[in-house]
Chains A and B, each alone.
Chain A
Amino acid sequence: MLRVSKGATLRYPQPGGPDERRHRFEELYAANCGPILGYVLRRTDNPDDAADVIAETFLTAWRRLDAVPPGDEARLWLYGVARRVLANYRRGERRRAVLADRLRAELSAGYRPAQYTGELAEFAAAFRSLAEADREVLALVGWEGLDRGQAAAALGCSRNALRIRLHRARRRLADACARHQVTSPSEPVSVTNGESA
């Protein structure tokens, strides 16, 4: 039976010696639970869903530990899994996993969706009006701070495809801003192709 006390690192009774797989997961989890928590909470206002998405994302990592790339790429891989799990929830899936109970309780108690006022509220509305795919590519760069190569890895597309998607998303954001009558973010964009389709 696992016992964990506040502030303690995870300890497991392992008479058989170090369990490499578990150890590897713990490292992955420790390094990425903050970023994944942030990623998910930035994309859903529902703390219950957030807890379940986070739990399922890391469960997937645990089940597919061999598929998780090493180093910083692990975070990008986890973003990709979290994105797909979130998409399932947006399609109406609701699965309150018991293992996320505690996380769910704390998130429900503490999380309050961000509120914006004035022009920022209009800008946020314009951003939210974009298609999911456009928002995601903009958010990976703007919120997670990924460079283009990293964003491409998280989305599972080529760098060139990413560049085009980013450019189009920014253009649609500018259009949406115009509709919402807010100033669009000035963005130096240089894209030379991909505008026709």
Chain B
Amino acid sequence: MNQIQRIAPISDADAARLVSDTALADLAGQITMTPAGPATAKRAPRARRRRWWLAGIPAAAAAAALIAAVVVAHTGGPGGAGSTGGTVQLRPDAHALAFTRVGRYIDVIVRDPLADEASYNAEFKAHGLDITLSLVPASPSLVGTVVEISTSGPDENSITTITAKGRCWTGGGGSECPVGLRVPVGFRGQASLVFGRAARPGEQYESTTSASAPGEVMHGLNYVGKRVSTVLAMLARRHVTVPTYRDDGRALTPRQVPGTWYVYDAVPWAPQQVLLFVGPVPSHAYGAARPAPSPSPSG
């Protein structure tokens, strides 16, 4: 088995060195915050933290600091639970990007979130910028947020974000959204940016958050620990369907899941579709045996 050992791509120890204690603790903290049921709406820090780390990526990388950005348009806001992917206004005749010279900077706003990558890249190039931009389908509360960024080159610290309040609703509380980026005139670095855009009907999301975050289709539903049949009835009233389930990571089709099973969690899958995490037993944390929450002494 020696030779197989020799092609192990990475050891556990080396894998552990790739990530900071902070990132690991962050994940554990976010996971243990998930059983929230009705308290889900209070998960506001997510969006903020997300942007915060975006600013910190480069530190981990080797340098840089950076960006965030764009997409002017928007989800239906907190009341958008019933919205589908059609909330983005297309402007087929307009340029995909808007460039405005502001002193020593150029402000770039995405005007057409469904333009193809070549259009964006061509427009950046026409302005002498080595910046690539792509958009991936995201669930409503993440539309307009940054999914991924990477930068390099001599001016990598010099791109900043333009944010605006109330332009979108991110992950449960953040209303100050990145709507554009500010690039210094003569920027010589490279940057590649991926933003969340609204999905087309039937198109699977590539970036999601909790299905009960404000703006998502299950916002306000108390479904955790309920039976599958009960949750399906709730969803039917919102015209939401469940194309696929997960049982301990195992993908199951709707026919394989008894209505008597229990729902543990849900994430947006595609417009008006969610994925449910289910199992045959009520989870200890949510089931009938759960002790009633007692009021905290501090209120």
Contact = CB atoms under 8 A, between A and B. Distances in A.
Contacts of B285: 21, 65
Interface string B88-116: 00000000000000000000000000000
A14 B24 CA distance: 20
Contact of B4 (A39, A91, A111, A143): A143
A41 B9 contact: yes
Interface string A84-122: 110110010111111111110111111101101000100
A143 B23 CA distance: 25
A94 B54 CA distance: 20
A138 B4 contact: yes
Given A25-B31, A64-B264, A141 B23 contact: no
Contacts of A63: 34-35, 264-265, 277, 279, 283
Given A63-B265, A98-B46, A124-B7, A25 B204 contact: no
B147 interface: yes
Interface stretch (B11-19, B121-129, B156-164, B229-237): B11-19
B12 A38 contact: yes
Nearest to B12: A38
B272 interface: no
Interface in A33-77: 33-35, 37-39, 41-42, 45, 48, 54-60, 62-67
Contact of B22 (A6, A22, A25, A142): A6
Given A59-B265, A111-B18, A99 B24 contact: no
A29 B22 contact: no
A99 B27 contact: yes
Contact of A105 (B16, B57, B205, B207): B57
A9 B267 CA distance: 29
A84 B251 contact: yes
B248 A105 contact: no
Interface stretch (B75-83, B175-183, B253-261, B290-298): B290-298
A96 B5 contact: no
A interface majority secondary structure: helix
Interface residues of A, number: 81
B19 A62 contact: no
A155 to B, nearest CB: 13
A80 B247 CA distance: 12
A5 B20 CA distance: 11
Contacts of B61: 109
Nearest to B58: A109
A103 to B, nearest CB: 5
Contact of A67 (B50, B148, B267, B279): B279
A8 B56 CA distance: 19
A48 B148 contact: yes
Interface in B137-158: 142, 147-148, 150
Contacts of B31: 25, 29, 55, 58-59, 62, 99
A187 interface: yes
Nearest to A59: B31
A18 interface: no
A102 B27 contact: yes
B4 A139 contact: yes
Nearest to A25: B32
Interface in B196-216: 204-210
Interface string A114-153: 1010001001100100000000001101110000000000
A99 B248 contact: no
A142 B27 contact: no
A106 B264 contact: no
A10 to B, nearest CB: 5
Given A98-B142, A120-B7, A37 B1 contact: no
Q: What are the nearest 6 A-B pairs in CB distance?
A: A142-B4, A38-B12, A84-B249, A99-B30, A63-B264, A38-B15
10 contacts: A8-B25, A26-B32, A37-B18, A38-B16, A63-B283, A84-B251, A98-B210, A99-B27, A101-B53, A109-B61
Interface of A: 1-2, 4-10, 12, 15-16, 21-22, 25-26, 29, 33-35, 37-39, 41-42, 45, 48, 54-60, 62-67, 80-85, 87-88, 91, 93-103, 105-111, 113-114, 116, 120, 123-124, 127, 138-139, 141-143, 185, 187
Given A96-B207, A138-B1, 10 more contacts: A6-B21, A55-B27, A66-B281, A67-B279, A84-B249, A88-B249, A102-B22, A114-B10, A120-B6, A185-B3
